[in-house]
Chain A
């Protein structure tokens, strides 16, 4: 079973929920797919036990000794990455078109480190994550690698709990594809609703079973009702409604998962959601 926690947009409380589920499940492998700003490890703590460079992209490199400054590469480059016979690595996509047109063979593609993959041992099990190089290309590939690493450490078909990526682009697709279920965290706001609908169509596109939880549902109860109504019509289970709880902010500041605050209202609801999920999939995780 692979469960991804996702939200159209950042800031809906996705990581709060994902970290809580990760914390509640003793026997799962956790994956932080949010490679460009990962922070599950901050909440779960632990020790890094493996680290590896990830070469996710290529960058063109011009040998100035061979270059005769004909400008052919600059003309063919569709990403404006070459100016004055020099490559801007931030713009270069490593497509190789320039190497084709360079008659002097002055250009070579070099593998570029786009991040680092890390396995962290937490006291709630293993966490697979990455540190992406700022501004790097191809975060989707890095997400795929982080998931592969988790699979490599998986024994006995353990659950995999993924903290997904925000948005709907390549990194999100890489974090959703192949998952069995997705818990969509929705905020009852006008924009939250729009983001929800977009991310839902993505989830449907990949054939992943959607579940919903509404976060801070009492901030706008009309909107909450609207979301619930929509889910009912579409046959989507709303597993829980998490109330606005100042304790969440306290937990964030203390860098602890909210479920470690037993008395918190939000925490109780998240535990309920987790129990429902276990019940649906009839497993002890």
Chain B
């Protein structure tokens, strides 16, 4: 069972929800927001193992290369450029697809590994925690997310996704059993929630919504969910205490009221799990 926590936009409390839920439900936690992985700040795992994430990039043997530029032509990402004296690779543009190697008529292209980031694996009490960290200056997060996901085992796991709805989020939620969409009761929150909803609908992932920083009973998100027949998993109250705990890098469930709230949401998710 894998559950992804996402939001149309950053800053809605996605990491707050994922880390607190992981803790109350005793599920493993995976931070796929590899551009800004913050979950470890709150779960404070002991990092037991770190591994590099490598991607293959072409290596061109100048001795063999006849400068036919077939590789330059096939590369769809402009990662290769032909000069009079040989082929140049712009490694950050390379998508590691292997097409250049396939078209080279004289087998001048082989592959070598290049590191773009790392994966940390640790333990926070009973919970296994993993996170991907993209190196600064590296554009492509997806290979790290894919590798992270390949390391997830059979245990129930919460996946914290990156904000937005781009390719990083698509690869983070690919194959999950359920999605938890976190939003805020503002017009912006609703705007971004709708984006997240269409993404999970397109990918045919069942989902529910959590409203963070909720103040009123009948806010615009609650109304939207009712109209659209979307399951509301719960609300997290707007409370200065939450902001203070968060700023100190603490989990909200240190507070009794918040703990009860997350336990309730956790039970609902367990219920969803049984239905699936």
Please give the residue numbers on chain A whose beta carbons come within 8 Å of chain B beta carbons, in ascending order: 8-12, 36-37, 39, 42, 58, 76, 78-79, 90-91, 93-97, 100-101, 109, 132, 134-140, 166-173, 187-192, 194-195, 198, 201-202, 205, 216, 219-220, 223, 249, 252-253, 255
Q: Are the CB atoms of A140 and B139 closer together than 8 Å?
A: yes
Tell me, in angstroms, the Cα distance from A94 to B75 when the chains sit together.
10
Contact surface of B with A, Cβ cutoff 8 Å:
8-12, 15, 35-36, 38, 41, 74, 76-77, 95-99, 102-103, 134, 136-141, 162-170, 174, 186-188, 191-192, 195, 198-199, 202-203, 243-244, 246-249
A202 and B137 contacting across the interface, CB-CB below 8 Å: yes
A173 to B139, CA, bound (A): 7
7 smallest A-B Cβ distances: which pairs? A11-B11, A10-B10, A95-B97, A190-B249, A170-B139, A167-B35, A189-B247
Shortest A165–chain B CB gap in Å is 8
CB atoms of A219 and B96 under 8 A apart: no
- Once bound together, how far apart are the Cα atoms of A8 and B203, in whole Å? 28
Q: Which of A91, A136, A191 has the most CB of B within 10 A?
A: A191
Cross-chain contact B164 with A166 (CB below 8 angstroms): yes
- In the docked arrangement, what's the CA distance between A134 and B194, Å? 11
Chain B residues near A93: list those with CB within 8 A. 76, 95, 97
Q: How far, in whole Å, are A220 and B165 apart by their CA atoms in the complex?
A: 31
Find B191's partner among A37, A79, A205 (CB 8 Å cutoff). A37
Contacts of A42 in B (CB 8 A): 187-188, 191
Minimum CB–CB distance from A257 to chain B (whole Å) comes to 13
CB distance from B135 to the nearest CB of A (A): 9
Q: Does the CB pair B186–A190 fall under 8 Å?
A: no
Asked if B10 and A11 sit within 8 Å, CB to CB, the answer is yes
**In whole angstroms, how far apart are the Cα atoms of A263 and B155 in the complex?**
53
Contact between A37 and B11, CB atoms less than 8 A apart: no
Contact partner of A139 (CB less than 8 A), chosen from B76, B138, B166, B199, is B166
The answer to whether A94 and B76 touch across the interface, beta carbons within 8 angstroms, is: yes
B98 touches A134 (CB 8 A): no
Residues of A within 8 A of B199 (CB): 134-135
Given known contacts A76-B98, A172-B35, A191-B38, what 17 new A-B pairs fall within 8 Å (CB)?
A: A9-B38, A36-B166, A37-B163, A37-B191, A39-B191, A42-B187, A78-B98, A90-B170, A93-B76, A93-B97, A96-B74, A132-B165, A134-B199, A138-B167, A140-B139, A201-B136, A201-B137
Report how far A95 CA is from B134 CA in the complex, Å.
22
By a CB distance below 8 angstroms, the chain A residues around B247 are 187-190, 192, 219-220, 223
A55–B134 CA distance with the chains assembled, in angstroms: 27
A252 to B165, CA, bound (A): 22
Closest to A191 in B: B38
Q: Quick one: closest A residue to B139, CB to CB?
A: A170
Interchain CB contact under 8 A, A10 and B163 = yes
Please state if A168 and B35 are interface contacts (CB–CB under 8 Å).
Answer: yes
Please give the distance in Å from B139's CB to the nearest CB on chain A: 4
Are A166 and B10 in touch, CB under 8 angstroms? yes
Residues of A within 8 A of B12 (CB): 10-11
CB distance from A98 to the nearest CB of B (A): 9
Is the Cβ of A97 less than 8 Å from the Cβ of B102? yes
